[in-house]
């Protein structure tokens, strides 16, 4: 599972290219279908408000899937990811318009580990708030 | 109502096999907007050393969360699913999930806690292929918000 980035070429603090991920209601409907998560808080505004949310929110797993793209696009082979974990700290609120919202993801190498592995720490924000906490991946490099 | 602590350590029988199809992986990759060819093009996947297209890293959740349903809906455990949000999620991979896999999941309750009026449930899902080899382990933390607890993040 060779990755495109060499272990010897990265240092603690190396930044991965950041990415922005637009999210609209259509994105959520499509993700619901593909993932099988049909919880109405992800598509029904009335239901979301009834359970105390400000509006429809994105699936946490959609945000998690988006964030790791910063790592898999950098590493080349998605199989380079050997561990990945997040905490869902704030919901990603998705308004009912064509613009929706945007999740911004940045990441940097936080530690060099044994066996050509590095720990990458990710930061995901939406509307200026951190939406993932403790977001970390262990990645095996070439 | 506090969850039953005696459930800690309980494992549920392995699920029936889930057969991973190329088109299901494609559908999932398109839904997350990820154009990585390793998810859709067998040649591109083979060039990376994989026998067939592989699935994105979070794909296994669809399988493990379905399997965790037996835990979440276990009437003896007493979890109020209408108040459940997803707190944490973690994966540890031996190899990526790939097309053609027939995967089974064994769910185990790792922890049951009460904190600040919330009930917290940690479930581990071990995913194995048809040869019995380990593929991925998924850890899912579910938080059932208490009636008076302040909502501060999480997602269902």
Q: What is the pLDDT of residues A75-124, one digit of tens each?
A: 999 999 999 999 999 999 999 999 999 999 999 999 999 999 999 999 99
pLDDT of residue A1: 44
Query: Chain A within 8 Å of B58 (Cβ-Cβ)?
Result: yes
The pLDDT > 90 percentage for chain B reads: 74
Write the residue in A65, A83, A87 that is nearest to B32 by C-beta. A65
Express each pLDDT in B37-62 by its tens digit. Answer: 999 999 999 999 999 999 999 999 99
Distance from CA of B31 to the nearest CA of A (A): 5
ipTM value > 0.90 = yes
Q: What kind of fold does domain A7-140 have according to CATH?
A: Thiol Ester Dehydrase; Chain A (3.10.129)
d(CA B58, CA A120): 16
Give bridge partners of residue B148 from the DSSP assignment: none
CB atoms within 10 A of CB A114: 5
Are the C-beta atoms of A42 and A56 separated by less than 8 Å?
Answer: yes
Query: Chain A within 8 Å of B37 (Cβ-Cβ)?
Result: no
Express each pLDDT in A5-51 by its tens digit. Answer: 999 999 999 999 999 999 999 999 999 999 999 999 999 999 999 98
* pLDDT band, very low/low/confident/very high, at B26 (cuts 50, 70, 90): very high
Mutation target to probe the B interface, by most B beta carbons within 10 A, among A2, A53, A61 is A61
What architecture does CATH give domain B5-21+56-151? Roll (3.10)
Query: Chain A within 8 Å of B57 (Cβ-Cβ)?
Result: yes
Q: Which residue has the higher pLDDT, B5 or B37?
A: B37
User: Domain residue spans in chain B?
Assistant: 5-21+56-151
> Which tokens hold the place of A83?
């561990």
B155 to A66: CB separation less than 8 angstroms, yes or no? no
Q: At what angle do helices A60-67 and A25-35 cross, to 10 degrees?
A: 90
């Amino acid at each position: 599972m060779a990755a495109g980035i060499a272990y010897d070429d990265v240092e603690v603090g190396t930044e991965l290219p950041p990415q922005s991920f637009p999210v609209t209601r259509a994105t959520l409907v499509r993700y619901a279908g593909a993932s099988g998560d049909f919880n109405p808080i992800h598509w029904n505004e009335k239901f979301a408000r009834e359970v105390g949310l400000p509006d429809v929110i994105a699936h946490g797993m959609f945000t998690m899937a988006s964030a790791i793209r910063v790592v898999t696009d950098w590493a080349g082979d998605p199989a380079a990811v050997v561990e990945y974990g997040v905490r869902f700290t704030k919901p990603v609120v998705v308004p009912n318009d064509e613009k929706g919202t945007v999740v911004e993801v940045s990441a940097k190498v936080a530690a060099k580990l044994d066996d050509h592995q590095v720990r990458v720490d990710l930061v995901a924000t939406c509307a200026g708030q951190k939406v993932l906490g403790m977001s970390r991946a262990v990645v095996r490099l070439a | 109502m506090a969850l039953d602590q005696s459930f800690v350590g309980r494992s549920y029988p392995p699920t029936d096999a889930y057969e991973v199809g190329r088109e299901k992986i494609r559908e999932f990759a398109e839904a997350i907007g990820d154009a990585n060819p390793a998810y859709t093009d067998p040649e591109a996947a083979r060039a990376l050393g994989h026998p067939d297209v592989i699935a994105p890293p979070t794909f296994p959740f669809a399988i493990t969360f379905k399997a965790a349903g037996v835990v979440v809906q276990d009437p003896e455990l007493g979890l109020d699913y209408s108040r459940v949000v997803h707190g944490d999620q973690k994966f540890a991979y031996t190899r990526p999930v790939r097309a053609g896999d027939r995967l089974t999941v064994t769910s185990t309750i790792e922890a049951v806690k009460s904190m600040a009026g919330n009930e917290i449930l940690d479930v581990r899902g071990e995913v194995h292929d048809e040869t019995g080899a380990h593929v991925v382990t998924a850890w899912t933390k579910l938080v059932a918000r208490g009636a008076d607890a302040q909502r501060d993040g999480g997602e269902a």
